[in-house]
Amino acid sequence: MGYAHEYADAIMHRGRVPMDPADYVPNWQDGPRKAKFYPGADSFPLPDAPYPADATLDRGLCAEGAPEEGEFDLVTLSGMLRDSYGLTGRRLGVQANTDLSALPFYPLANWSRGSASGGGLYPVAVHWVSGPSGPVPPGVHYYSTRHHTMQRLLTGDVTGRVRAALGEGAPGPETDQYLVLSIKYWQNAFKYNSFSFHAVSMDLGACVQTWRMWAAARGLAVEPALWFDEARLAELLGVDPEEEGIFAVVPLKWAGYHGSSGQGCAASVSVRRKDAERSRTVLAFDALLRMQAATSADATARPAPGALAPAAAHPADPAAEEVGLPPARPLETDVRTALRDRRSSFGRFEARLPVTRPQLAACLAAAVAGSRLGGDTGDVRLAKLYAFVSHVEGVAPGSYAYDPERRSLRRVKEGRPGEFLQRNYFLANYNLEQAGAVLVPTVRTTAVLDAVGDRGYRLVNATVGAVAQSLYTAASAVDLGCGVALGFDNISYIEELGLDGTGEAPLLIMMIGNERPAPADFRYEIA
Ligand SMILES: Cc1cc2nc3c(=O)[nH]c(=O)nc-3n(C[C@H](O)[C@H](O)[C@H](O)COP(=O)(O)O)c2cc1C
């Protein structure tokens, strides 16, 4: 049994048994940047990218049908990056977070992005490894979120290295254009220390799922590989494999690609530029080091098709009382608009206006549809959804399991859940009772780890991140507020939902609801 089991158990119990270092206080003055910094690297701006109004979120979430056949080019790549991790505006609305008083100060500005991210730290670094069919000389680029530019880190065609690292049976099209996603842990760990791995692996899923929705809505495919030779890619990017994990590779079907020349490139070629760390003191955390070691050890052992079947989400209990839902409200907003309008509610929920059942049905269906990451992660649905209903028109307060086959609810427990929810929330920035409903994704973490090994932890959390991002985007499209949170006592949720014997781990709480009308805000769009 690998270390990931131990870590998963410690994460679940951390509300009762604090994880080391329990007395950690971040040194805010000496924090890292929210991006990597390559002084002196040449960069070029990415083009403006239109987005069609008929690229609706319903299309973006519709997983059925033939694989998407569209081809990326620089314009679509630019649009997808801008709408996920690129900066789109400045957050200045009044909310209940403790950073509120800092927001008006420019150096401390909080920039909005299409993807959500734990603590707003955005630790996913996107590298574009491009070959000869690209519009610029082949090389390795770093996507600078601040400038919406590509920074050139290496010149030359090294796509053969990525292809070799992906190995046989990798998902996605034949191509010479790849996005390589890494996570530099310190960018998050300076705040969350040992907990960091848990949060950043969800961020990865939130980012990839933004791409999947954005792309699918316009006939493009994003099929990530989570299994590949991580050490070789770390070497190619010139990063320390202890400090930075390579989490995903997305091969892009590219316009004008006519097959690769096939020649390999010298194994020793790698990025020489070094990211300049802002923090003078960078700390290492034992749990984080061990999780990076455990989840990268067998990185090439891509699971066989069907390997995850034993870890599939349990079906809804057919014996439990069924509570029907009407058809979901259509998600007709285009994905870009839904992402631009998305934000966390942070204390702005107000229950006076209840959520409607079609809104709830849309959110539940979107969260489930968004739980599959594609690529080499298999067809098996890993996440199961529960809903604590407080204020939904026509649905009695209580807890329910979502039945995705029948698109209905199955009653778990009657009674108003508000007191339970608030008692088990660690922070003061939400009144969970005022949300219309709190949705909770569960994954059988232990079963996933048993099925595919420790790297499966990244898949578990990427799945939850993808669910969260799908819900955020769907809530935006049906005019509801949304917020998600990791700061709750997982064990209490196991007890409350009766999951003791099922192996299901409640991994996130996701609130949807109406907000107080006319909140104080200041418009500051930059994209
Ligand atoms: C995996 C994940 C975990 C999060 N955990 C929390 C949390 O515990 N509490 C909270 O208030 N917000 C949480 N958030 C929301 C982020 O703080 C939020 O997405 C980020 O600050 C950016 O703000 P925005 O969503 O308004 O764009 C989480 C988001 C993600 C994706």
Dist. CA 172 → ligand 1 center (Å)? 30
Average pLDDT of every residue of the chain:
96
Q: Best mutation site among 115, 344, 493 for ligand 1, i.e. most ligand atoms within 8 A of its Cβ?
A: 344
**Is residue 2 scored above 80 in pLDDT?**
yes
pLDDT given at position 400: 98
Residue 280 domain flag: yes
Judge if ipTM > 0.95.
yes
Q: Are residues 248 and 378 in the same domain?
A: no
The CB of 124 under 6 Å from ligand 1? The reply is no
Q: Best mutation site among 484, 488, 493, 512 for ligand 1, i.e. most ligand atoms within 8 A of its Cβ?
A: 484
Residue 4 domain flag: no
- Please check whether residue 167 is in contact with residue 226, taking contact to mean a CB–CB distance below 8 angstroms: no
Residue 288 domain flag: yes
Residue ranges with strand state E in 109-225: 111-112, 124-130, 139-144, 149-155, 177-184
- Structure confidence by residue, pLDDT tens digits, 106-137: 999 999 999 999 999 999 999 999 999 999 99
Q: Please state, in angstroms and rounded to a whole number, the distance separating the CA atoms of residues 375 and 167.
A: 14
The rounded percent of the chain whose pLDDT value lies above 90 is: 95
- Atom 4 of ligand 1: nearest residue by CA position: 118
Q: Are residues 388 and 286 in the same domain?
A: no
pLDDT given at position 266: 56
Which residues make Cβ contacts (< 8 Å) with residue 369, sequence separation at least 6? Answer: 61, 62, 63, 470
Q: Are residues 349 and 411 in the same domain?
A: yes
Q: Best mutation site among 14, 87, 115, 117 for ligand 1, i.e. most ligand atoms within 8 A of its Cβ?
A: 117
Residue 48 domain flag: yes
**Is residue 440 scored above 70 in pLDDT?**
yes
Give the ligand 1 atom nearest the CA of 97: 11
Dist. CA 380 → ligand 1 center (Å)? 27
pLDDT band of residue 62 (cuts 50, 70, 90) is: confident
Mean pLDDT along residues 84-112: 95
Residue type, 100: L
- DSSP 8-state secondary structure symbol assigned to residue 513: E
The CB of 202 under 6 Å from ligand 1? The reply is yes
How many structural domains does the chain have? 2
- Structure confidence by residue, pLDDT tens digits, 489-503: 999 999 999 999 999
- Structure confidence by residue, pLDDT tens digits, 211-228: 999 999 999 999 999 999
Mean pLDDT along residues 74-84: 98
Q: Please state, in angstroms and rounded to a whole number, the distance separating the CA atoms of residues 439 and 386.
A: 6
Q: Please state, in angstroms and rounded to a whole number, the distance separating the CA atoms of residues 127 and 219.
A: 23
Q: Are residues 174 and 52 in the same domain?
A: yes
Mean pLDDT along residues 384-400: 98
**Is residue 267 scored above 80 in pLDDT?**
no
Which DSSP helix (H) or strand (E) runs through 437? strand 437-443
pLDDT given at position 198: 98
Which residues make Cβ contacts (< 8 Å) with residue 219, sequence separation at least 6? Answer: 68, 69, 70
Q: Please state, in angstroms and rounded to a whole number, the distance separating the CA atoms of residues 364 and 245.
A: 32
Mean pLDDT along residues 272-281: 97
Residue 430 domain flag: yes
Residue 22 domain flag: no
pLDDT band of residue 69 (cuts 50, 70, 90) is: confident
Burial class (CB in 10 A: 0-12, 13-18, 19+), 337: middle
Q: How many CB atoms lie within 10 A of CB 332?
A: 14
Token pair in block for residue 305: 């098709």
**Full residue range of the structural domain in which residue 287 is found:** 28-88+103-257+268-296
CA atoms within 13 A on the CB side of 342: 31
pLDDT given at position 268: 80
Q: Are residues 275 and 381 in the same domain?
A: no
Mean pLDDT along residues 11-30: 96
The CB of 486 under 6 Å from ligand 1? The reply is yes
Q: Are residues 429 and 485 in the same domain?
A: yes
The rounded percent of the chain whose pLDDT value lies above 70 is: 98
Which residues make Cβ contacts (< 8 Å) with residue 83, sequence separation at least 6? Answer: 51, 114, 210, 214, 335, 336, 339, 340
Mean pLDDT along residues 33-50: 97
- Please check whether residue 317 is in contact with residue 410, taking contact to mean a CB–CB distance below 8 angstroms: yes
Dist. CA 49 → ligand 1 center (Å)? 27
- Please check whether residue 466 is in contact with residue 366, taking contact to mean a CB–CB distance below 8 angstroms: no
Give the ligand 1 atom nearest the CA of 346: 11
Q: Are residues 315 and 463 in the same domain?
A: yes
- Atom 12 of ligand 1: nearest residue by CA position: 485
The CB of 80 under 6 Å from ligand 1? The reply is no
**Is residue 47 scored above 80 in pLDDT?**
yes
Q: Are residues 354 and 277 in the same domain?
A: no
Closest CA to 83 of 106, 52, 107: 52
Dist. CA 484 → ligand 1 center (Å)? 6
R_g over Cα of the chain: 22
SS3 181: strand
- What is the C-alpha end-to-end distance of the chain, expressed in Å? 48
Alpha helices in 230-356 (DSSP H): 230-237, 286-296, 335-341
CATH number of the domain bearing residue 372: 3.40.109.10
Q: Are residues 207 and 327 in the same domain?
A: no
Give the ligand 1 atom nearest the CA of 426: 8
Least confident of 253-267, 448-462, 467-481: 253-267
Peptide bond connecting 21 to the previous residue in cis, omega within 30 degrees of 0: yes
Q: How many CB atoms lie within 10 A of CB 72?
A: 25
Q: Are residues 202 and 141 in the same domain?
A: yes
pLDDT given at position 67: 64
pLDDT band of residue 262 (cuts 50, 70, 90) is: low
pLDDT given at position 397: 98
Residue 14 domain flag: no
Residue with tokens 């209940």: 96
- Atom 14 of ligand 1: nearest residue by CA position: 118
pLDDT given at position 453: 98
Mean pLDDT along residues 308-314: 98
Residue 302 domain flag: no
Q: Are residues 116 and 248 in the same domain?
A: yes
**Is residue 172 scored above 70 in pLDDT?**
yes
Q: How many CB atoms lie within 10 A of CB 98?
A: 9
Q: Are residues 82 and 44 in the same domain?
A: yes
Give the ligand 1 atom nearest the CA of 112: 27
DSSP 47-63: PP----TT-BHHHHH--
